[in-house]
Chain A
Amino acid sequence: AQSVTQLGSHVSVSEGALVLLRCNYSSSVPPYLFWYVQYPNQGLQLLLKYTSAATLVKGINGFEAEFKKSETSFHLTKPSAHMSDAAEYFCAVSDQTGTYKYIFGTGTRLKVLA
């Protein structure tokens, strides 16, 4: 069965500092991986996705993620945090048994300190 683990339910960074949100997956087949962001009282917005093309994926708002098969990881990074990045971030893997439903990690709430 596929699963996703996000280390750190809460992460705080200073404005301008590097953002690193961790995601590890478990999958018996090549995975399709996604990062979504959720702002308060809103739905989920896609940041980026990995679908077996380039291992370094660039997304919106300056975020990127690198797929590392040897480490079964898909960590999300941003070189310089902005106050507007404060939100909850979810990593997800797409089930590949037919429905392609998402299996989500538990989420990481990012706080950006002035």
Chain B
Amino acid sequence: DAKTTQPPSMDCAEGRAANLPCNHSTISGNEYVYWYRQIHSQGPQYIIHGLKNNETNEMASLIITEDRKSSTLILPHATLRDTAVYYCIVRASLSNFGNEKLTFGTGTRLTIIP
């Protein structure tokens, strides 16, 4: 399984873009990058995922480098409600049936400063 490395914490001013980095230098060609976030006392929430192209949805943008060894999650206009722990995950296949599991690390604690 490809492992991910994220900074333990980051701050961002409200209204600014929050850029959360993730290193996954051992990622395989068929492994996707997923981002989840966990707001205090809640279960994790899916944000976005991608394989090699950049992706955007209503919550965020995902930029994956050409060599796929790192990625950045961008929250374009951070609000106080974006304060959470953000997890970068590489999806791994497990078992002969090709089913998958998500392995969470400890993530990045993002604090939005008013």
The answer to whether A and B belong to the same complex is no
